[in-house]
A and B are shown apart, each in its own frame.
Chain A
């Protein structure tokens, strides 16, 4: 595991909301084309950690980040970093499906338009391809001009994923993408994520142990701002090295 292979490396990341320390020195690396699940109880810092990777925490006032986060060997917290470019490379799917109050087509085309793409045929082509990849094309192909808000929660979330795919990121961060959805919709999204693994690196925060064990290659367990354990998903779930991990995944926790 040489460092050239890692697409994202984080070293001793601390994050403070004002004076409160939310991340207490997290070091974790990610390999390309793998799905890593971040698990842990609420408030353990896993979502916060996820948001340091595309600098979404910048939006919150009074946040300080120390430590080292590199994406493709570039320090993303360096003053020279262009966050706009960074976020095109590292897409994000949120917990609540959050389509814009536009048509389905415009939602997916949004990232292309803000990037300055004008060619209508090309935009339509990418929108279709993205919706297909996100396994929602069949549901929406006849109503692309309808408002995305009229779709069901699961469809909305898949449109949101298509919206991210259209920008062609290298990495997709998913912050509990199925926690607001019913099991059938969740299943569809899980299958889709497994298919997307060929092309993308994914990091997914989840509260659902089964989900983590079904779809992820690696699992990282967070507790109280610390990274407790990180390794192959199979090993974490069958043979955890740390007692806290075992307690948490077997439900004996808090």
Chain B
């Protein structure tokens, strides 16, 4: 009797193992959180220095149309207007998403509703392959195919927003498609059965039940694609022309936040205005990433409530 009491009172080997496991997993997560917070702090402190240390006003930065951080403008302040890049990023992203969405959803419907066997055996592997192609390859193809095509069709250099949008469209298409496929697959089979049993055609079922109940998931897929397009640097930089000018049409060189960042980060000195203002661009990218993240969560929550 006393023996078993003693045994119960002391720590057993198993409970010690539990504790060790808990500690290890806590340390891992703490490390990850630490790294993320450090990056956030680093980018934010550098990005904000433009406004605190170098005295650039936030309004000028966000709405100024002339980007030339090395020179001083008429008002005696450095020319740090980031609007051309902000506009470039948004236009390229929205164009790519607008074109990719119908294709992706159409492909997803085909793969889940119309021909699941072909979808599973042929299209799924193809799409997974496309997701895995590095962005530099997409950029290279864009540079050797899309840019010359645009040059021959519209004249000019061929570099520009339209070329970037096409490359991004191809890049995000597999991502958006495979997420849409997952979403459509997760629509319960009994919704389809209920609809068909009421005398709906297959198309009515897809259109009025499957797509409708999958809307939050499909929106998430599109937003995810947009986040990817917004953050893509290399492929865009290779085809957009990288002129920090306010975009006036789709076929002349323009730039995005990421392309200006990758072009200039090697050419500035740490701590100078030229360098700090690049960090400000990075901060915008970070804030946008956060925004896309919150947006997908919000959509998910809203969808779960119905």
Contacts and interface: CB of A to CB of B under 8 A. Distances in A.
A97 B190 CA distance: 9
A100 B197 contact: no
Contact of B197 (A54, A85, A96, A99): A54
Interface in B170-228: 188, 190-201, 204, 208-209, 212-213
Interface string A121-162: 000000000000000000000000001010000000000100
B306 interface: yes
Contact of A91 (B195, B198, B306): B198
A88 B199 contact: yes
A133 to B, nearest CB: 16
Interface stretch (A35-43, A73-81, A107-115): A107-115
A94 B194 contact: yes
Contact of A101 (B195, B197, B198, B213): B213
A110 B190 contact: no
Given A85-B199, A88-B198, A114 B190 contact: no
Contact of A87 (B191, B192, B197, B306): B197
A87 B200 CA distance: 8
A169 to B, nearest CB: 9
A117 interface: no
Contacts of A101: 191, 212-213, 306
Given A98-B190, A98-B191, A114 B196 contact: no
Contacts of B213: 100-101
A111 B190 contact: no
Given A114-B204, A114-B208, A56 B198 contact: no
- Interface residue tally on A, bucketed by range: 20 to 34
Contacts of B199: 84-88, 111, 114-115, 167
B196 A59 contact: yes
A87 B198 contact: yes
B193 A114 contact: no
B306 A114 contact: no
Contacts of B200: 84, 110-111, 114
A108 to B, nearest CB: 10
B39 to A, nearest CB: 39
Contacts of A230: none
A163 interface: yes
B190 A94 contact: yes
A88 B204 CA distance: 14
Contacts of A212: none
A87 B204 CA distance: 14
Given A100-B209, A101-B213, A147-B306, A87 B196 contact: yes
Interface string B232-243: 000000000000
A102 interface: yes
A158 B192 CA distance: 19
A92 interface: yes
A101 B194 CA distance: 12
Interface string B156-168: 0000000000000
A51 to B, nearest CB: 9
A61 B216 CA distance: 29
A236 interface: no
Contacts of A160: 194
Contacts of A110: 195, 198, 200, 208
A164 interface: yes
Contacts of A88: 198-199
Interface string B129-156: 0000000000000000000000000000
B256 to A, nearest CB: 38
A54 B208 CA distance: 21
21 contacts: A56-B196, A56-B197, A84-B199, A85-B199, A87-B197, A94-B190, A94-B193, A94-B194, A96-B190, A98-B194, A100-B191, A100-B194, A100-B195, A110-B198, A110-B208, A111-B200, A114-B208, A115-B199, A147-B306, A160-B194, A167-B198
Interface of B: 188, 190-201, 204, 208-209, 212-213, 306
Given A59-B193, A99-B194, A100-B212, 20 more contacts: A56-B193, A56-B196, A59-B192, A92-B197, A94-B190, A98-B191, A100-B195, A101-B306, A110-B195, A110-B200, A110-B208, A111-B198, A111-B199, A113-B208, A114-B195, A115-B199, A149-B306, A164-B198, A167-B198, A167-B199
Q: Name the 8 nearest CB pairs between A and B, nearest first.
A: A88-B199, A92-B197, A98-B190, A111-B198, A87-B199, A114-B200, A101-B213, A114-B204
